[in-house]
Amino acid sequence: MTSWNFPSRIQKKVLEVLSEWYASHTLNSIRCEWEKKTNPSSSQNVPLNILSYNVEGWGTRSLEVTDLIFKVDSSICVFTEVGLLWDSFKVPHFNSFYQKGTNKNGGVMIAIGKHLKATRIEVNIDNTVIVDVTGLTEPVRIIGIYWAHDQVRDMKDLDPFIIKNTIISGDFNATVQEWGSPSTDTRGRKLKSWTEDNNLQFVPTTINSSKRSERNIDLTFTNVNGVDSATVIFGTSDHWPAVVTTHNIGFLTNKFFPQVNWNIFQVLLVLVEDFWINKQKLQTPDQWYENYIRFLAALKNRLTTWREIEKYRPALPDVIVKELQQIRR
């Protein structure tokens, strides 16, 4: 190994593993010893982020929305006023569920990250999408709504669909003074009464959602505890997007990630090559292959160290996000 000019730390590690290899009486005993090494079990809870945004036309804003999704690390998105071009561009790594609106500018789309399981609940109501989501610490039901100015809607039609862990978000075109608007209109009074009847809590944002007025018409309601929302100053729509965060429902992620020293792995394979060549003469091809594959897995496990993650980070790095932004430009 000295002639191979490996650093002393690699030589030391190789000699340590080789000592274990030669000290073992049988191949099976060393494999069992190396296979026993397990990873730490500590985990951390990562809150769930839900992006809610009236895009005022998916066809013209799909690229900026894709950028926003990965900036705020949202696994679930509710988009309103998506229009007829809702299917013109698909967000990478997301499944989309759409319901038409009452006019060409309406429509609602819910996008769910493919790392989650999404099941659509069929409901024949314009501008309304209902999706059940699992793969989290608890299942959630997402209801996306766009209530157009001229749409006649009875919110009681949704009563049968309100279950445990329901989150309702969208553009209601309704104003309630207690919810951040200057005054309460007729639709707002009816909506507020309906939320109270169904034990749904309003989730306040940091500022009103309309850019053209002081009205707060993009609203979120839920029966989940520990939910808050923050307005995002972003985008070219006349509405500000908001990120709804559920602190009690999210992802359980391992606080540790594996690191395999592949340099040492390759060195050891070279050093024990003669052993495995001789084994071929003593076993059938199937027996040899099974033993060798198990040995490789055990050796990999032996050379794996676990490092603690100090902070959860989104799966997509900035360079990938920038590449996504170039799509269709």
pLDDT, one tens digit for every residue, the chain (329 residues): 556 677 788 888 899 999 999 999 899 999 999 988 776 655 667 899 999 999 999 988 998 999 899 889 999 999 999 999 988 888 889 999 999 999 888 999 999 999 999 999 999 999 999 999 999 999 999 999 999 999 999 999 999 999 999 999 999 999 999 999 999 999 999 999 999 999 999 999 999 999 999 999 999 999 999 999 999 999 999 999 999 999 999 987 766 778 888 989 999 999 999 999 999 999 999 999 999 999 999 999 999 988 776 554 544 555 555 555 555 44
Domain map (residue ranges) of the chain: 8-41+257-308, 45-253
Yes or no: say if 116 and 136 are a contact pair by the CB < 8 Å rule.
yes
pTM for the model stands at 0.69
Phi/psi class of residue 19: alpha, beta or left (left: φ > 0; alpha: ψ in -120 to 50)? alpha
What is the per-residue burial (b if ≥16 Cβ within 10 Å, else e) of 66-76? bbbbbebbbbb
pLDDT of residue 312: 47
DSSP state of 246: E
Say which amino acid occupies 302: R
Alpha-helix residue ranges (DSSP H) falling in the chain: 8-23, 27-35, 58-71, 186-197, 262-271, 273-282, 285-302, 318-325
Protein fold of 45-253: Deoxyribonuclease I; Chain A (3.60.10)
